[in-house]
Chain A
Amino acid sequence: MKTLSKIAGISAATALIASPAFAEAGVEAAEHTAFILNSVLFLMGGFLVFWMAAGFTMLEAGLVRSKNVTMQLTKNVVLFSLAAIFYYLIGYNVMYPLGSWSIGTDETGGYLGAFGVAILEAVGVSAENADDIGYASTGSDFFFQLMFCATTASIVSGTLAERIKLWPFLIFTIILTGLIYPIQASWKWGGGFLDTQWGFLDFAGSTVVHSVGGWAALAGAIILGPRLGKYAKDGSVIPFPGSNLPLATLGTFILWLGWFGFNGGSQLAMGTIGDVADVSRIFSNTNAAAAGGVIAALALTQLLYKKPDLTMILNGALAGLVAITAEPLTPTLGQATLIGAVGGVIVVFAVPMLDKFKIDDAVGAIPVHLLAGIWGTLAVLFTNSDATLMGQIVPILIVGAFVFTVSFAIWYVLKLTVGIRVSEEDEINGLDKAELGMEAYPEFARH
C-alpha cells in the first residue's frame, strides 16, 4: 500500500504509461492484463492476510491458560466478522475517500475521509466501466484492505486476554475497525496529510497497522489492569505459562505465511517485470526478517536466561516481520535479516520491561506490534533514500497520539458505563466457564 494509485489523477497517468502505444515492447503487460494481474495479486494477498486471523487465534489460544481458550477463540472469530461488516459500512470510504474528504483536500492534506458504504463494481463489469482500469478491481481492493483492518483488531485481543469481558471488547472492536483504523490509515494510504505534507513512508503498515493495534492494546491494558496474581506484592512477576505451545507455534507459522501476502500484496501492482520482481523481492525480505527475529531471540534468551524461551522466539519471529513491514522492498537480504533481528532483540528486552511497569500483556503484542512497529518505521531511513527523519518520526508520534488518546478515552468510557473487567470470581474460574459456559478442553483433568 505504498502508493496512492487509487487517486484518479495518478491512475490516469498510470493508464497512459501502461497503454500499448507508450510501453516498450515486451516489457509491460497490456492495460487489461495489468488490471487482471493486479487484481489477482490483491486476491492472493488478501486470502493470505485473511489466514493471519487464524494465526493470531492459534497464537493467543496457545499462550493463554486453558480456562480462557474458548474465549480467545470466540473473540477472534467475532472480531474478524465485525471488522468485515464495519469496514464495509464505514471504514472503506473513510480510508479511501478518493479526494472526497469530509475535512481537508488532496492538495492541502486530508484529515477525515468520506462517509458511505463500500460499493463494488457491477456484475461482469466491462473495461470501460471499471472503477479504475489502471489499477485493479474494486472488489479485490476492498477484500485486500479489509484484511489489514481486521489484523489491527486481532492485535488488541491478545494483550487484553484472560480478564476482559466479551461485549465491551466487541464494542471497542467496532469503533477501532469502523473509525480509528480507517481514519489514521487515510492519512497515509488514502492520500491524506501524512502522505502529502510529511512524505511519510510506511509500505505495508509497521505504523499504520501494527503500531495502531499496539497503541490501542496499550491503552486498554493500562485501563483494564493486570490479570489477578500476575504481580506479587513484593513486585515480582508471576508467570502464567501458556496452555498449548504447539498451537502458539502453529499460529506463528501461519502468521509468517500470511505476511507474504501482507507485504507482497502491498506492492499493489503485478503488471510489469519490475513489479513482479519487486513482489518476489518483498517475499524474500519478509522471510529473512522473520528468520533474523527468531535467531536474535534464541541467542538472547540463551545468553540472558541460560535456556532458550520458545514463547520469546515466537514473538521474535513476529517482531522481525513487523519490523520489515514498513519497508520490505529496498533492503538487501542481509539488511532485512538485521532489521528483523533488531525486532527480536526489542521483544526480549521489552517483555520484562512492560512487566516492570505492571502493564500485563498476555501474549506480548505490545512489544511485537507497537515497539517493533516503531523500529521498523524508523528503519526505513537506512535503506530508502526517499525517507526523511522528520517524515518518519512525526507521523509515528501523530498516529500514536491519536490512536492512544482516542482508545484510552473509549476504554475509559466503557469502563465507567458497562464495565470492562469480569469479576474476581469469574477471572479465577476462567472466562470460558464464566462468560461462555463452554470449555476448550473439557476432558482434561485440572490440577
Chain B
Amino acid sequence: MKLIIAVIKPFKLEEVREALTSVGVQGLTVSEVKGYGRQSGHTEIYRGAEYVVNFVPKVKLEMAVADGDVASVVEILAETAKTGKIGDGKVFVMDVEQTLRIRTGETGEEAL
C-alpha cells in the first residue's frame, strides 16, 4: 500500500477528482493549504502598494492506494493537474505500513 500526496492548483481539484474516481480511487482527503516551492510566492498590488504573497494557496490531496494502482494514479494526477505553467504542484508517494477500517476491523488492502 502506498500513500499518495499531491499538492495541486485549486482550480484543478474538480477535474482531478473526477479522473481519480474513473481509475478507481475510492477515498480522498482534501485540505486547503498554503505554501511555496521554487516559485517562492508572487507579488500583488493593493491600493498602490506592492507586496509579496509568500504563501500561495494550493489544495493537498491524500489517498491510500494498492501497490498495483500507484502507477496509474500518479499518471492520472500528472495528466489532469498539469497546466504547463509554473506552480502546478508535486506528487509524493510513500509506503503505508498498515490500514484499518474502523467500522469492520478489516486491515491491509481490504481496508482501502
Chain A interface (Cβ < 8 Å from any Cβ of B): 236-239, 241, 304-307, 309, 311-312, 348, 351-352, 355, 364
Q: 29 interchain pairs (CB within 8 A)?
A: A236-B49, A237-B48, A237-B49, A237-B51, A238-B49, A238-B51, A239-B46, A239-B47, A239-B49, A241-B46, A304-B48, A305-B45, A305-B48, A306-B45, A309-B45, A309-B46, A309-B47, A309-B48, A311-B46, A311-B47, A312-B47, A312-B48, A348-B48, A351-B47, A352-B47, A352-B48, A352-B49, A355-B49, A364-B47
- In Å, the complex CA distance between A91 and B44 comes to 46
Which 9 pairs from chain A and chain B are nearest by CB?
A352-B48, A239-B46, A237-B49, A305-B45, A239-B49, A239-B51, A351-B48, A351-B47, A241-B46
- In Å, the complex CA distance between A141 and B8 comes to 63
- In Å, the complex CA distance between A241 and B47 comes to 9
Interface centre among A239, A309, A351 (most CB of B within 10 A): A239
Q: Please name all residues of chain B whose beta carbon is closer than 8 Å to the beta carbon of A355 when the two chains form the complex.
A: 48-49
In the complex formed, the residue of B with least CB distance to A237 is B49
Q: Which of B45-61 contact A (CB under 8 A)?
A: 45-49, 51
- In Å, the complex CA distance between A287 and B49 comes to 30
- In Å, the complex CA distance between A76 and B47 comes to 24
- In Å, the complex CA distance between A86 and B47 comes to 36
- In Å, the complex CA distance between A241 and B45 comes to 10
- In Å, the complex CA distance between A239 and B48 comes to 9
In the complex formed, the residue of A with least CB distance to B34 is A447
Q: How far is the CB of B76 from chain A (nearest CB, A)?
A: 31
Interface centre among B46, B48, B49, B51 (most CB of A within 10 A): B48
Interface centre among B46, B47, B48, B49 (most CB of A within 10 A): B47
- In Å, the complex CA distance between A236 and B48 comes to 11
Q: Please name all residues of chain A whose beta carbon is closer than 8 Å to the beta carbon of B45 when the two chains form the complex.
A: 305-307, 309
Q: Please name all residues of chain A whose beta carbon is closer than 8 Å to the beta carbon of B46 when the two chains form the complex.
A: 239, 241, 309, 311
- In Å, the complex CA distance between A351 and B45 comes to 13
Given contacts A348-B48, A351-B48, 9 further A-B contacts (CB under 8 A): A237-B49, A238-B49, A239-B51, A309-B45, A309-B47, A309-B48, A351-B47, A352-B49, A355-B48
Q: Which of B28-46 contact A (CB under 8 A)?
A: 45-46
Q: How far is the CB of B56 from chain A (nearest CB, A)?
A: 14
Q: Please name all residues of chain A whose beta carbon is closer than 8 Å to the beta carbon of B51 when the two chains form the complex.
A: 237-239
Q: Please name all residues of chain A whose beta carbon is closer than 8 Å to the beta carbon of B49 when the two chains form the complex.
A: 236-239, 352, 355
Q: Please name all residues of chain A whose beta carbon is closer than 8 Å to the beta carbon of B47 when the two chains form the complex.
A: 239, 309, 311-312, 351-352, 364
Q: How far is the CB of B79 from chain A (nearest CB, A)?
A: 31
- In Å, the complex CA distance between A305 and B51 comes to 12
| Chain B 6-24 near chain A by CB (<8 Å), digits 1 or 0 | 0000000000000000000
Q: How far is the CB of A129 from chain B (nearest CB, A)?
A: 55
- In Å, the complex CA distance between A97 and B67 comes to 90
- In Å, the complex CA distance between A261 and B51 comes to 40
Q: How far is the CB of A386 from chain B (nearest CB, A)?
A: 38
Q: How far is the CB of B74 from chain A (nearest CB, A)?
A: 31
- In Å, the complex CA distance between A312 and B47 comes to 6
In the complex formed, the residue of B with least CB distance to A241 is B46
Q: Please name all residues of chain B whose beta carbon is closer than 8 Å to the beta carbon of A352 when the two chains form the complex.
A: 47-49
- In Å, the complex CA distance between A195 and B46 comes to 42
- In Å, the complex CA distance between A237 and B47 comes to 10
- In Å, the complex CA distance between A364 and B49 comes to 13
- In Å, the complex CA distance between A304 and B47 comes to 11
- In Å, the complex CA distance between A236 and B52 comes to 11
- In Å, the complex CA distance between A145 and B75 comes to 71
Q: How far is the CB of B49 from chain A (nearest CB, A)?
A: 4
Q: How far is the CB of B47 from chain A (nearest CB, A)?
A: 5
Q: How far is the CB of A235 from chain B (nearest CB, A)?
A: 11
Q: How far is the CB of A17 from chain B (nearest CB, A)?
A: 51
- In Å, the complex CA distance between A39 and B74 comes to 76
Q: Please name all residues of chain B whose beta carbon is closer than 8 Å to the beta carbon of A307 when the two chains form the complex.
A: 45
- In Å, the complex CA distance between A241 and B48 comes to 12
- In Å, the complex CA distance between A236 and B50 comes to 9
- In Å, the complex CA distance between A304 and B45 comes to 10
Q: How far is the CB of B107 from chain A (nearest CB, A)?
A: 35
Interface centre among A304, A305, A348, A355 (most CB of B within 10 A): A305
- In Å, the complex CA distance between A307 and B51 comes to 14
Q: Please name all residues of chain B whose beta carbon is closer than 8 Å to the beta carbon of A309 when the two chains form the complex.
A: 45-48
- In Å, the complex CA distance between A351 and B48 comes to 7
- In Å, the complex CA distance between A364 and B51 comes to 18
Q: How far is the CB of A369 from chain B (nearest CB, A)?
A: 16
- In Å, the complex CA distance between A309 and B47 comes to 7
Q: Please name all residues of chain B whose beta carbon is closer than 8 Å to the beta carbon of A348 when the two chains form the complex.
A: 48
Q: How far is the CB of B60 from chain A (nearest CB, A)?
A: 15
In the complex formed, the residue of B with least CB distance to A353 is B48
Q: Please name all residues of chain B whose beta carbon is closer than 8 Å to the beta carbon of A311 when the two chains form the complex.
A: 46-47
Q: How far is the CB of A427 from chain B (nearest CB, A)?
A: 20
Q: Please name all residues of chain B whose beta carbon is closer than 8 Å to the beta carbon of A239 when the two chains form the complex.
A: 46-47, 49, 51
Q: How far is the CB of B88 from chain A (nearest CB, A)?
A: 22
Q: Please name all residues of chain B whose beta carbon is closer than 8 Å to the beta carbon of A351 when the two chains form the complex.
A: 47-48
- In Å, the complex CA distance between A108 and B47 comes to 47
